[in-house]
């Protein structure tokens, strides 16, 4: 009877050992401030940085709305467009 319990314990340990830990997420997120579903990411055309649409600065254009990570990038984009 004891052998059966031991065997079950060994099987249990083996199963636990074989299973890779999927509890830990690959990306550590300090501030879980996102509400609702996965937020849309937009790319800054000036610096190429990806920013969440809620944090991005939007600039409505003739064809499409552009998004920037900061006012600095937005101004840079506007200056480049007006100059060239």
Is 78 a binding residue for Zn ion by CB under 5 A? The answer is: no
- What span, in angstroms and rounded, lies between the C-alpha atoms of 82 and 72? 15
Minimum Å gap between C-beta 77 and Zn ion is 9
Minimum Å gap between C-beta 68 and Zn ion is 6
- What span, in angstroms and rounded, lies between the C-alpha atoms of 27 and 42? 19
- What span, in angstroms and rounded, lies between the C-alpha atoms of 9 and 83? 74
Residues 44-63 close enough to bind Zn ion by CB under 5 A: 44, 46-47, 49
Tokens coding 8 = 């079950």
Is 73 a binding residue for Zn ion by CB under 5 A? The answer is: yes
| Footprint of Zn ion (CB under 5 A) | 44, 46-47, 49, 69, 73
């Amino acid at each position: 009877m004891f052998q059966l319990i031991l065997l079950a314990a060994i099987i249990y340990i083996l199963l636990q050992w074989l299973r890779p830990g999927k509890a830990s997420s690959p990306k550590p997120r300090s501030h879980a401030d996102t509400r609702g579903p996965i937020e849309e990411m937009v790319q800054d055309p000036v610096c190429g940085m990806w920013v969440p649409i809620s944090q991005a600065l939007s600039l409505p254009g003739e064809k499409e709305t552009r998004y920037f990570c900061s006012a600095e990038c937005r101004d840079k984009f506007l200056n480049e467009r007006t100059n060239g």
